[in-house]
Structure 1
Amino acid sequence: MSTSEERPSRFDAWLPAEYRARGDFTVLVVLVAIGETSIDLLRSTFINVIGDETRWREVRALLEGAGVAWDGAAFFPVDSFIRGAVPNELARSELRDLEARLREDRMLLNEGHFFDRKGRRMKVEESDEPGSAAMHG
Structure 2
Amino acid sequence: MSTSRGLGTDFDRWLGKLFRKGPFTALIVLVKIAEPKVEPLRSTFVHVVGNEIDWGDIVLMLRGAGVSWDGAAFFPTRDDDGGLVPDATARSRLRELEAALREDRLTLNKGAFFDVWGRNLEVQETR
TM-score by length of 1: 0.86
**Structure 1 residue 83: deviation in Å?**
2.6
User: Corresponding residue for 2:120?
Assistant: 121
Equivalence map 1:56-95=2 (5 Å): 56-95=55-94
**Structure 1 residue 78: deviation in Å?**
1.0
**Structure 1 residue 40: deviation in Å?**
0.6
Preserved contact between residue 16 and residue 53 of structure 1 (Cα < 8 Å): no
User: Corresponding residue for 1:7?
Assistant: 7
Q: Which has the larger radius of gyration?
A: 1
SS across alignment from 2:73: strand
Q: What letter corresponds to residue 15 of structure 1 in structure 2?
A: L
Equivalence map 1:28-47=2 (5 Å): 28-47=27-46
Q: What letter corresponds to residue 46 of structure 1 in structure 2?
A: F
Compared CA separation, residues 6 and 82, structure 1 to 2 (3 A): closer
Distance in 1 of aligned mates of 2:19 and 2:26? 11
Compared CA separation, residues 30 and 86, structure 1 to 2 (3 A): same
Compared CA separation, residues 72 and 5, structure 1 to 2 (3 A): closer
TM-score by length of 2: 0.93
Preserved contact between residue 5 and residue 54 of structure 2 (Cα < 8 Å): no
Q: What letter corresponds to residue 115 of structure 1 in structure 2?
A: F
Q: What letter corresponds to residue 52 of structure 2 in structure 1?
A: E
Please report the RMSD computed on the Cα atoms of aligned residues, expressed in angstroms: 1.4
SS across alignment from 2:68: coil
SS across alignment from 2:118: coil
Distance in 1 of aligned mates of 2:70 and 2:103? 20
Unaligned runs of 5+ in 2: none
User: Corresponding residue for 1:18?
Assistant: 18
Aligned residues: 124
Q: What letter corresponds to residue 8 of structure 2 in structure 1?
A: P
Between 1 and 2, higher relative CO (CA 8 Å, sep ≥ 6) is seen in: 2
* Per-residue deviation, residues 60-117 of structure 1 (Å, max 9, x unmatched): 1100110001000000001431431110000000000000000100001000000000
SS across alignment from 1:65: helix
